[in-house]
Amino acid sequence: MRRYLLRRIVLLIPVLWGVATLVFAVTNIIPGDPVDLMLGETARPAQREELRKALGLDRPLLVQYGSYLGGLLKGDLGTSIHNNRPVAKLLAERIPASAELTIAALAIALAIALPLGIVAARRAGSLVDMGASALAVLGASIPVFWLGPLLIIFFSIDLGWLPVSGRTGVLSLVLPAVTLGTALSAILMRLTRSSLLEVLPQDYLSTARAKGLTERKVLWLHALRNACLPLITILSLQLGALLSGAIITETVFAWPGVGRLTIQAISARDYPLVQGCVLFIAFVYVAGNLLADIAYAWLDPRVRYN
Domains in the chain with CATH codes? 95-305 (1.10.3720.10)
Mean pLDDT computed over every residue of the chain: 79
> Which range among 10-24, 39-53, 185-199 shows the weakest confidence by mean pLDDT?
39-53
Amino acid identity at 293: D
Query: Residues 275-286: what's their mean pLDDT?
Result: 84
Confidence of residue 189 (pLDDT cuts 50, 70, 90): confident
For residue 10, the SS3 value is helix
- Rounded Cα gap, residues 96 and 257, in angstroms: 8
CA dihedral sign of residues 179, 181, 183, 186: negative
DSSP state of 86: B
pTM of the model: 0.78
Which one, of 267, 276, 262, lies nearest residue 79 by Cα?
Answer: 276
Confidence of residue 195 (pLDDT cuts 50, 70, 90): confident
pLDDT for residue 203: 74
pLDDT above 70: residue 300: no
Amino acid identity at 4: Y
Note the pLDDT tens digit of each residue in 155-188: 888 888 888 888 888 888 898 988 888 878 888 8
Note the pLDDT tens digit of each residue in 58-114: 778 788 888 888 888 888 888 887 788 888 899 999 888 888 888 888 888 888 888
The residues near 225 (Cβ < 8 Å, ≥ 6 apart) are: 299
Which one, of 271, 275, 249, 268, lies nearest residue 260 by Cα?
Answer: 249
Which one, of 39, 63, 69, lies nearest residue 51 by Cα?
Answer: 39
Most confident of the ranges 19-28, 174-183, 203-212, 216-225: 174-183
For residue 79, the SS3 value is strand
Confidence of residue 32 (pLDDT cuts 50, 70, 90): low
Tell me how far the alpha carbon of residue 81 is from its chain's centroid: 26
The residues near 131 (Cβ < 8 Å, ≥ 6 apart) are: none
Burial class (CB in 10 A: 0-12, 13-18, 19+), 264: middle
